[in-house]
Amino acid sequence: MKIAVIGTGYVGLVSGTCFAETGITVTCVDIDKSKIDRLNNGEIPIYEPGLERLVNKNIETGRLLFSTSLEESITDCEAIFIAVGTPPDEDGSADLKYVLSVAAEIGQYMKDYLVVITKSTVPINTAERVRVAVQAELTKRGSDLEFDVASNPEFLKEGAAINDFLKPDRIIVGTDSERAIKMIQRLYKPFLLNNHPLIFMDIRSAEMTKYAANAMLATKISFMNEIANLCEIVGADVNMVRQGIGSDSRIGNKFIYAGAGYGGSCFPKDVKALVKTGLEYHSPLRILQSVEEANEHQKSVIALKLMAHFDGDMKGKKVAIWGLSFKPETDDMREAPSLVIIDNLLKAGAIIKAFDPVAMKEAERMLNSSVEFCANKYDALVDADALVVITEWSEFRILNYPQMKELMKETVIFDGRNIYEPTEMQENGFSYYSIGRKPVIPNS
């Protein structure tokens, strides 16, 4: 069996590699020539645990190929996955220009029946628009080739993408074609050996499922952040509240951690796009509008705490930042809360020294010379007036208090992910601010 995956980003590269792992021959296509050149040299353009080993293993078997040419890659393919980006348009809706241009190319170059599967996160009715775009090109060619469309949204999490793809909680497929169902069943069979469900539905429901899932997760986070902010004011502890409500099986204990706001390439843009869809169809999603608003506010909470601690005077204050990526185990900086926090602190006159285990190259591209990047977490602490922890990388969890005290000018920590215990901080001589818990000052 042979397939092609168009778009070799976080989703396309992981999906293509995992399909190759099952014995299928996969060509990953991208218009970014430098990306394809790097991949052909065994170099992985993104940080994703376990990916490099799997890519190189499948390149060696000859089952995983990389190309800039959709035309050359489409020959003998039974299915084409579209996994290109769908960034927000100016008005917040998903920009479909990349998806539709790939659909047109497929129509120009396909030579036999195939199933065109949209894996990118796309608004309702996109698979229909893909169908129209492919058909328009076939008509131009005077061709009567047949094809089907399907929507197969992706649920992998960056940082755990390989495991999520190989052992999915569920696979969602929307299609109206029996022939496509049979082909997709064959394609996904190796991933279903542990009884993970492959759920077939109509195309619109599949498209909606992806947005509803991300919107629900973003809602849980924003809800908990607002509860956390109130906890602080009324003297409650959000960690206790989280444990209290998380043990209710109707609520569950996942995605209810308070923090410095959600980011990444999916939640912010998908919430925006769904809000836009609601408005378009005159069915406003009022909850989601508030989720977005709450998240924007949450990203400023840490900087506000610093301002309050330093009586509004951040000028010349040296702030160490630990963690830049939007979450641990990825180098993805898209919409990372760190960008907003750093911007707020710089505007207030602070000097920033930052460390992240893998995202500094990406961060450098976005923040350029405004931030000093450090070789390790302790270098960032030299003469620091404060430490801000933004991303909960494992290596930040255990602290060397004596070393930190020696390096820092003032022993104060702002924890945007609630990874430390206030009493431990207090006992070790640190002032400590977190999210939704009482701040502490050192025991005298």
Name which position in 85, 174, 328, 436 contacts ligand NAD (CB under 6 A).
85
Interface of this chain with ligand NAD, residues 153 to 172, rule: CB under 6 A: 154, 156, 158
Distant-in-sequence, close-in-space partners of 123: CB < 8 Å, separation ≥ 6: 93, 94, 96, 207, 211, 273, 276, 277
Q: Is residue 84 close enough to count as binding ligand NAD by CB under 6 A? A: yes
Could you say whether residue 29 binds ligand NAD (CB under 6 A)? yes
Show the tokens assigned to 305: 């705490």
Considering only residues 243-272, where is the footprint of ligand NAD by CB under 6 A? 265-266
Distance CA(259)–CA(263), nearest Å, equals: 11
The Cα 143–Cα 158 span in angstroms is 40
* Segment lying near ligand NAD (by CB under 6 A), choices 27-35, 297-305, 317-325, 358-366: 27-35
User: Residue 28 catalytic?
Assistant: no
Determine the Cα–Cα distance for residues 209 and 276; give it in Å rounded to an integer: 16
Q: How many residues bind ligand NAD (CB under 6 A)?
A: 26
Compute the least distance from the CB of residue 265 to ligand NAD, in Å: 5
Catalytic residue among 18, 231, 266, 374: 266
130 binds ligand NAD (CB under 6 A): no
* For ligand NAD, the closer CB: 102 or 314: 102
Interface with ligand NAD (CB under 6 A), residue from 11, 273, 339, 387: 11
In the complex, what is the shortest distance from the CB of residue 82 to ligand NAD, in angstroms, rounded to a whole number?
Answer: 9
Is 6 or 384 the residue whose CB approaches ligand NAD more closely?
6
d(CA 62, CA 83): 22
Question: Which CB sits closer to ligand NAD, 84 or 412?
Answer: 84
In the bound state with ligand NAD, the residue whose beta carbon lies nearer, of 68 and 426, is: 68
Q: Footprint of ligand NAD on residues 344-383 (CB under 6 A)?
A: none
Structure tokens given for 143 = 């061709």
φ and ψ of 312, to 5 deg = 80, 0
Query: 3-state secondary structure string, 118-129?
Result: ECCCCCCCHHHH
Nearest residue by C-beta to ligand NAD? 9
Whole-number Å distance between alpha carbons of 208 and 212: 6
Q: Give dist(CA 84, CA 265) in Å, integer.
A: 13
Q: At what angle do helices 360-367 and 337-347 cross, to 10 degrees?
A: 50
Judged by CB, which is closer to ligand NAD: 154, or 362? 154
Residue 188 DSSP symbol: H
Residue 101 lies near ligand NAD (rule: CB under 6 A)? yes
What are the backbone angles phi and psi of residue 334, rounded to the nearest 5°?
-65, 125
| Bridging pattern class, strands 351-355 and 372-373 | parallel
Q: Report the relative pairing of strands 351-355 and 431-433 from DSSP bridges.
A: unpaired
Q: Which is nearer to ligand NAD, 13 or 340 (CB)?
A: 13
Nearer to ligand NAD, 82 or 115 (CB): 82
Select the residue interacting with ligand NAD from 32, 52, 137, 364 (CB under 6 A). 32
Output DSSP code: residue 251.
T
**Min separation Cβ 210 and ligand NAD, Å:** 7
Q: Does 213 bind ligand NAD (CB under 6 A)?
A: no
Question: For 23, left (φ over 0), alpha (ψ -120 to 50), or beta?
Answer: left
Query: Which of positions 175-204 make contact with ligand NAD (CB under 6 A)?
Result: none
State the minimum distance, in angstroms, from the CB of residue 121 to ligand NAD: 4
Number of DSSP helices (H) and strands (E) in the chain, helices first: 16, 14
Kindly list the catalytic residues: 266
Site residues (CB under 6 A) for ligand NAD?
Answer: 6-12, 29-32, 35, 83-86, 98, 101-102, 120-121, 154, 156, 158, 265-266
